[in-house]
């Protein structure tokens, strides 16, 4: 019998390394599917990677089907402080389900959190992709332009301070033009950036839906997974995002 504290300091009783995992976090679903595919039994409808993921779906991150989760008889449900509701965590725990909550606001925090999941909780050691990601992001980056990342339109919302994506931008040598709140609202004309990075999630920006809002200013369409996910994509995200920046910043 082991008791480990999750990222929020909540004790989680684990009689043995979990063998049946339900993930309510798309980033971590991919991490489990790549590293311990035999242990992943359930995931949300938003868990899109790997593309061939074949597990029971338990609805969304904000409205999980608790009855479907219980039917899977998991010995661990993995959540995230930002992506999932505290109410759902509390209800799952009240029903006797062990729940591990991650709290991630920085790149280093993500790497540490995932390392704990695999080494301490699952007892499988550090995955190769995680070691590669740590090495890929270790070197300092050259200073880059002022950028801004919208995550929604109508109303326009942006990546702000104290966010994983904001920290990722800094690690790329970029200056986030949006400060203050974590996800503030502002019109594009009120954001003073040299380059606007338009991701395909949560809002799906495309060549026909997004760049026209920034006439005369540089934009780049980027993968939202590279900017917001903290799983295996981190192993190549730095190189992929650097290439996208070069295409969008003449």
Interval 190-219: pLDDT, tens:
999 999 999 999 999 999 999 999 999 999
Per the structure, the count of domains in the chain is: 2
Kindly report, residue by residue over 163-180, the tens digit of the pLDDT. 999 999 999 999 999 998
In a domain, 135, yes or no: no
* Closest of 231, 82, 65 to residue 162, by C-alpha: 82
Same domain, 51 and 151: no
Question: In the predicted model, is pLDDT for residue 111 greater than 90?
Answer: yes
Q: What is the pLDDT of residue 246?
A: 77
Cβ count within 10 A of residue 90: 11
How far is residue 46's CA from residue 157's CA, in Å, rounded to a whole number?
20
Q: What is the pLDDT of residue 114?
A: 97
Same domain, 81 and 179: no
Same domain, 114 and 216: no
Same domain, 198 and 161: yes
Same domain, 170 and 225: yes
Q: What percent of the chain has pLDDT over 70?
A: 98
Same domain, 92 and 204: no
Same domain, 161 and 204: yes
State the residue range of the domain holding 184: 146-248
Kindly report, residue by residue over 73-108, the tens digit of the pLDDT. 999 999 999 999 999 999 999 999 999 999 999 999
Q: Look up the CATH number of the domain holding residue 25.
A: 3.40.50.1980
What tokens does 237 get? Answer: 């995200």
In a domain, 137, yes or no: no
In a domain, 107, yes or no: yes
Burial class (CB in 10 A: 0-12, 13-18, 19+), 131: middle
Which stretch of DSSP H or E encloses residue 176? Answer: strand 175-176
Torsion (CA) 5, 78, 125, 11 in degrees, nearest 10: 10
Question: In the predicted model, is pLDDT for residue 250 greater than 50?
Answer: no
Task: Write 57-66 long-range contacts (CB < 8 A, 24+).
Answer: 58/22, 58/24, 61/24, 61/25, 61/26, 64/24, 64/88, 66/91, 66/92, 66/95
DSSP at 70: H
Domain boundary pick from 126, 159, 190: 126
Same domain, 109 and 25: yes
In a domain, 19, yes or no: yes
Kindly report, residue by residue over 33-80, the tens digit of the pLDDT. 999 999 999 999 999 999 999 999 999 999 999 999 999 999 999 999
């Amino acid at each position: 019998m082991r008791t480990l504290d999750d990222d929020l300091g909540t004790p989680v009783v684990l009689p043995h390394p979990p063998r049946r995992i339900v993930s309510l976090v798309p980033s971590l679903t991919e991490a489990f599917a790549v590293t311990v595919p035999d242990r992943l039994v359930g995931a949300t409808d938003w868990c899109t990677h790997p593309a061939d993921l074949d597990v029971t779906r338990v609805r969304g991150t904000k409205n999980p089907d608790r009855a479907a989760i219980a039917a899977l008889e998991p010995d661990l449900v993995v959540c995230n402080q930002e992506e999932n509701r505290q109410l759902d965590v509390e209800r799952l725990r009240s029903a006797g389900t062990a729940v591990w909550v991650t709290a991630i606001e920085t790149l280093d925090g993500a790497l540490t959190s995932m390392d704990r999941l695999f080494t301490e909780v699952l007892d499988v050691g550090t995955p190769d992709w995680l070691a590669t990601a740590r090495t890929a992001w270790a070197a300092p980056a050259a200073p880059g332009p002022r950028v801004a990342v919208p995550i929604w339109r109508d109303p326009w919302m942006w990546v702000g301070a104290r966010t994983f994506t904001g920290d990722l931008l800094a690690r790329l040598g970029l200056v986030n033009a949006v400060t203050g709140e974590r996800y503030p609202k502002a019109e594009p004309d009120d954001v003073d950036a040299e380059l606007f990075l338009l991701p395909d999630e949560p809002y799906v920006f495309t060549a026909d839906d997004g760049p026209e809002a920034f006439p005369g200013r540089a934009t780049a369409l980027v993968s939202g997974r590279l900017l917001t996910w903290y799983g295996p994509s981190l192993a190549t995200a730095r190189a992929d995002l650097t290439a996208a920046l070069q295409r969008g910043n003449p």
